[in-house]
């Protein structure tokens, strides 16, 4: 049952690498 969580973690890590400043992730969660 840990598969979905693992996939989500990979996605989050992908965002962290894609958005070096981290603002991109904040905007995605904020919905701006």
Q: How far is the C-alpha of 4 from the C-alpha of 21, rounded, in Å?
A: 26
Burial pattern 1-32, b for ≥16 Cβ within 10 A else e, equals eeeeeeeeeeeeeeeeeeeeeeeeeeeeeeee
The confidence score (pLDDT) of residue 23 equals 59
The confidence score (pLDDT) of residue 32 equals 45
pLDDT tens readout for residues 1-32: 566 778 888 777 766 666 555 555 556 555 54
Q: Structure pTM?
A: 0.31
* Nearest in space to 11 (alpha carbons), one of 1, 28, 30: 28
Contact 3, 12 (CB under 8 A): no
């Amino acid at each position: 049952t840990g598969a979905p969580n693992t996939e989500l973690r990979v996605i989050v890590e992908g965002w962290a690498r894609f958005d070096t400043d981290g603002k991109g992730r904040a905007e995605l969660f904020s919905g701006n």
